[in-house]
Amino acid sequence: MITIYDIAEKTGYSAPTISKALNGRGGLSPATRKKILDVAEEIGYKPNMAARSLTTKKSFLIGIIYEDAYMKAGFEHPLFGGILNTFRTELEASGYDLIFLSKSFCSGKTSYLDHCVLRNVDGVVIINPAETVSELSALADSDIPSVSTNDIIPGIPYVITENFEAGYKAAEHFIKNGHKKFAYLAGPTTEYTRASIERLEGFRSCLLKHNFNFDDSFTETCPAWFKENGFDAMKKLWARHSDVTAVFSANDRIAAGAMDYCQSIGVRVPDEVSFIGFDDELFSSYCNPPLTTFKQRREQIAEAAAEILRKRLAGQSVADFVRISADFIERNSVKNLSNS
C-alpha cells in the first residue's frame, strides 16, 4: 500500500509536510502543495481513513440536519438545496464526508444529539431542522461544534440572510413607484425561524419612516408556505382592504397564490395590484407577469457557514452570526403609478 512516506521519499519533503498538503492545512506555499498533490496523484496514493481516524481520534464526518416534512421541496428548495451543494463542496475539500442526521432514523425515536453520538460526527450543520426545541437546545449545549444556516438557535453560530434589509428595500421599491397602500402576506414563524417576521419588520420600518399608515390589519399570516396559502391569505386581506396596490409576500409561492386570487376576481396584476416575492424560485420568472423578488445568496451563506464550522473544529473563536444581503431581482410585477 502506498503511504505518505512514499510521497515524502519521492518529493524530498518530510512526512508532516506531506500530511499538511494532503489535508489542506498548514502554511505551505502553493508551489509546494501542488508538487506534493501532483506526486500523490501520480503514484496513486489513497488516504487510509481508518488509520487517520485512529491517529486523530476524529471521524471526519459532518452531520447534516435537513428535514423536509414541512416544505416538501426536497433538494429543489430554492435556498436549502443550494446551501447543501456548496457546503458539501467546501467540507469535502477539507477532507470531511457528510452524513444525514434524519428524524426518520429509528422511526424518529433517536434525538439529534443521540444520532450525532451514534455516528461519531465531528461537527454539524443545521440547514432545516424539525422544530424540536428541546433537541436543538441539547445539541447547542453539547461539545459538538455546530453552525446553522436558517434557524437562530441560542448557543449555535448562524449564517442567514439580511431579512430586515430586504423587507425595507421592498417597501422602498413600492414607494419609488408611487404606491401608497401596502400589505404584507407573512409565512409561519417558529421560536427559531423568524425570517418572515424580520421581513415584515423591515417592510413596516420603511413605511413608517415615510409616514404611511400600516397597522396589523394590512398583514395576513399564512399557516404554511404554499401557493394555496397565498391564495387564501389574499382573499382574506382583500375583504378588509380592497384598495391596496402593493403586496409584499414572505416567499414566491405565497406571492404566486395571491396573484392567482387577484386574477380570479378580475383584478389586474400589476396594473391594479403589484407584487414582490422572496426566494427567486424557478417558476418566478415564468409567472404572468414575471415576479419581482429577492434571491438569497446561498453559495455565500454556505461558504461562510463552512468557514465557521472549520474554525470551530480547529478550536478557534468565531462570530456569533453572519448576515448576508439578498439580491433584488426586478421583473414586471410592480406597476409604476407615478406615471399614471
CB 302 within 8 A of CB 147: no
Strands 327-329 and 293-295: antiparallel
pLDDT tens, 209-229? 999 999 999 999 999 999 999
Q: List all residues 6 or more positions away from 130 whose beta carbon is below 8 Å from its beta carbon.
A: 67, 69, 103
User: Going from the N-terminus, what domains does the chain have, and what CATH number goes with each?
Assistant: 4-47 (1.10.260.40), 61-161+299-325 (3.40.50.2300), 163-296+328-339 (3.40.50.2300)
Cα dihedral 11/16/17/23 (nearest 10): 110
Instruction: State yes or no: pLDDT of 94 exceeds 70.
Output: yes
Mean pLDDT of 105-124: 82
Nearest Cα to 259, choosing from 237, 169, 189?
237
- The whole-model pTM stands at 0.81
For the chain, give the mean pLDDT. Answer: 89
